[in-house]
Homo-oligomer: A and B are copies of this chain.
Amino acid sequence: MTTAHPLRAGTAHQSRSVAGHLAAVTALLAPLAAESRAEVLPLRAALGRALVHDIVAPVSLPPFANSQMDGYAVRSADLHDGGTDLRVAPPVPAGSRPPALLTGTAAPIMTGAMLPDGADAVVPIERAVPDSFPAAGSEASVTLPAVPAGTFVRPAGSDIVAGGRALAARTHLGPAQLGLLAALGRADVEVFKAVTVLLVTTGDEVVEPGRELPDGKIYDANGTLLEAAMAEAGIDVRRTGISTDEPGELRKLLRATSTEADLIVTTGGVSKGAYEVVRQAMEDQPVDFLHVAMQPGGPQGIGTFDGVPFLGFPGNPVSCLVSFEMFLRPALSALLGAPAPRAPLRARLGHGLTSPERKHQVRRGNLQPDGTVRLEGGEGSHLVHALAGSNALVHVPEGVTELAAGDEVEVWML
């Protein structure tokens, strides 16, 4: 660091909006959404992935009109005010097509069983006299109140009609979406492959957790933090050891390990200091180093290394996580439908804050049950204990310099 490094001085003062950088990251990763990157998985393995194509319902749900209650299937026209005696027909068997219901009869039916032809309503057993079913094979009658047609009937197709679009392409597959695919009879589904990221942390001053900590060094939190955040988002993460601050070594490490990666992500070495290993290692590559109008996480690198898409995140843990949450995660959500996008929630600030005018500030906070959000820690991007005590990111858009307690902000639950 003993000489001034006028590294790409032309780009060093470039500044870009958060939206502009997200668009650039999304463009870089657009090839990941190619249909050639699809694979067919059994439903249980598709959790957290997203659909390549629309899913059209091959059957209606429910497939047939069925009873919503335990009771008697009836022809509503048979029933009159004041109660009507009907002969008890043989019970409707579960799981098969019952015979048609004769006029003047009522058939015991259980929840979910197919309504017999002719029947158009169900009287719950609680409203019948007597209010329990007669013994098998016995001749019996039952007194039932009048009910409108359709009472306690789930019509065929009332949830979805065969031929209708059940799920759209790029829908994220959580439990409910997989449950719907199962209800439609699907045992497997075509989804986008998981994205493989090679994650490389850098710095002569960082040490692997579990080792001894020499004077002046810190433990590497970035690797664990980002690996976990990426894994939670469905990314297949591969890690190297920590790279030194020697650019040639980092290049060698990347060349040895990046062949199968869809994306390289590094941490550290991207700002305007003298030792900036990632900048230096990328000197011959089409990579831009720029400043995004965001706090923390301003310094960012983006481009390709030997043709592999590359993102360079800054070196502090909170900056790393914010970079992931603001750029990589939403780009993948937009392109592939997975991970599921963070829901933009509204909350009231528990207390006031200030923010630099020309930056989108991302604070860490705790969303309280009363709907207010309490900030955790200060602005410092090294505050990983404060981050660990937070459950949400709090957004202060560019142009906003001051907010008071009670003002509404957008928050993302982590």
Identify the A interface with B (CB < 8 A): 1-4, 6, 43-44, 47-48, 57, 59, 61-64, 68, 70, 91, 93-98, 108, 110-114, 132-137, 154, 158-160, 166-167, 174-188, 203-206, 208-211, 213-229, 231-232, 245, 271-275, 315-317, 321, 343-346, 367, 369-371, 377, 380, 382-388, 390-391, 413-414
Contact = CB atoms under 8 A, between A and B. Distances in A.
Contacts of A175: 224-226, 228-229, 232, 321, 414
Contact of A388 (B64, B137, B176): B176
A159 B218 contact: no
A220 B137 CA distance: 31
Contact of A380 (B154, B160, B179): B154
A214 B59 CA distance: 12
B180 A384 contact: yes
Nearest to A205: B95
Given A132-B4, A215-B96, A182 B221 contact: yes
Contacts of A177: 388
**Which of A64, A175, A184, A229 has the most chain B CB atoms inside 10 A of its CB?**
A175
Given A179-B317, A182-B209, A114 B2 contact: no
A385 B166 contact: yes
A47 to B, nearest CB: 5
Given A47-B231, A135-B4, A178-B224, A273 B70 contact: yes
Given A176-B225, A216-B114, A95 B321 contact: no
B91 A2 contact: yes
B216 A97 contact: yes
Given A216-B97, A275-B94, A385-B160, A179 B224 contact: yes
B385 A216 contact: no
A94 B136 CA distance: 87
A68 to B, nearest CB: 7
Nearest to A324: B175
A70 B209 contact: no
A274 B228 contact: no
Contact of A271 (B70, B97, B383, B414): B70
A357 B196 CA distance: 52
Contacts of A43: 209, 224, 228
B1 A180 contact: no
B96 A174 contact: no
Contact of A179 (B206, B228, B272): B228
Contacts of A272: 70
A360 to B, nearest CB: 17
B227 A387 contact: no
Contacts of A414: 174-176
Given A2-B136, A135-B2, A47 B232 contact: yes
Contact of A59 (B186, B188, B213, B346): B213
**Which of A47, A94, A377, A391 has the most chain B CB atoms inside 10 A of its CB?**
A94
Contacts of A91: 1-2, 274
Contact of A216 (B3, B96, B136, B210): B96
Contact of A187 (B205, B210, B371): B210
Contact of A137 (B2, B154, B204, B344): B2
A384 B228 contact: no
A351 B68 CA distance: 25
Contacts of A108: 1, 274
Given A61-B384, A176-B321, A183 B1 contact: no
